[in-house]
């Protein structure tokens, strides 16, 4: 029997799929290290236990799979029927028995992977609509999932850090975050620089900016609202090198 394989032929897309699958495997490893009792513990997200994180990541895979199905069939299948349904889904998932919660993650990840695998090469350019109302090509679903699994693996608060996230993922995450700031106009006077590189994000034309500097993992952690360890801040909005809180991202 011939082995099943991705129908995607674009090398960049193939690399992106690999990064998403590596992130899924990393999340699975951090989840499997937790005992059933530890699932009840707090995550790094205020108001959410680890159970909420696992439920969210599981149902997110199902939602993204619906977009891939949309691209494959042309039949509109939104990620969620409403924000309220999404929120209810997560709250319900957080109440599942541990084995059911783990199965939710495992099975939804496999389902999404199969949808990606079977999507014809030309269908990756078909347009779909995200939960935020953005119209994007189906290939964007790979990044949407990549971001979720790597970031929420850290949110499980089980030893994963931003240093575990591959540099290309962190760079794209920073572009997403600073792009959202720019769209909302909340990055005025704020510049983010990566130590030892030419990478700079934010309001780089500001005359007297507040400058946030540090290694890529530390800066991404700060920008994502997960902490300020390892970064330095200079400028009018700082006090004794203490960085201001990052603008809201999502």
pLDDT digits (tens, 9 = 90+) for 40-52: 999 999 999 999 9
Q: Which two tokens stand for residue 154?
A: 């850290």
pLDDT tens by residue, 95-143: 999 999 999 999 999 999 999 999 999 999 999 999 888 999 999 999 9
pLDDT band at 3 (very low <50, low <70, confident <90, very high): very low
Residue 246 CA to residue 56 CA, distance in Å, equals: 24
The whole-number pLDDT of residue 209 equals: 84
Mean pLDDT of the 170-183 span: 91
Task: Provide the pLDDT for residue 236.
Answer: 59
pLDDT, residue 2, reads 43
Lowest mean per-residue pLDDT among 64-68, 90-94, 105-109, 203-207: 203-207
pLDDT digits (tens, 9 = 90+) for 240-250: 567 788 888 87
Region 215-229 average pLDDT:
92
Q: How confident is the model at residue 1 (pLDDT cuts 50, 70, 90)?
A: very low
Domains of the chain: 11-160 (1.20.120.450), 167-234 (3.30.1050.20)
What is the structure's pLDDT at 239? 56
Checking if the pLDDT of 65 tops 90, the result is yes
């Amino acid at each position: 029997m011939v082995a099943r394989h991705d129908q995607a032929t674009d090398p960049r897309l193939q690399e992106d799929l690999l990064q998403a699958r590596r992130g899924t495997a990393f999340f699975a490893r951090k989840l499997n290290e937790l005992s059933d009792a530890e699932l009840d513990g707090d995550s790094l997200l205020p108001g959410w236990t680890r159970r909420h994180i696992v439920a969210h990541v599981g149902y997110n895979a199902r939602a993204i799979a619906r977009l891939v199905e949309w691209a494959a069939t042309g039949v509109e299948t939104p990620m969620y029927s409403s924000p309220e349904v999404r929120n209810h889904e997560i709250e319900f998932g957080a109440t599942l028995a541990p084995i059911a919660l783990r199965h939710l993650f495992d099975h939804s990840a496999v389902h999404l992977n199969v949808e990606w695998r079977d999507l014809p090469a030309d269908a990756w350019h078909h347009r779909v609509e995200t939960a935020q109302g953005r119209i994007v090509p189906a290939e964007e679903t790979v990044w949407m999932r990549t971001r979720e699994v790597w970031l929420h693996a850290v949110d499980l608060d089980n030893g994963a850090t931003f240093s575990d996230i591959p540099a290309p993922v962190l760079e794209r995450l920073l572009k997403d975050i600073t792009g959202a700031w720019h769209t909302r106009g909340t990055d005025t006077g704020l510049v983010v620089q990566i130590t030892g590189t030419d990478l700079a994000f934010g309001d780089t034309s500001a005359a007297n900016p507040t400058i946030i500097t540090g290694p890529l993992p530390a800066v991404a952690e700060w920008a994502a609202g997960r902490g300020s360890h390892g970064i330095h801040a200079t400028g009018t909005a700082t006090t004794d090198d203490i960085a201001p809180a990052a603008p809201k991202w999502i």
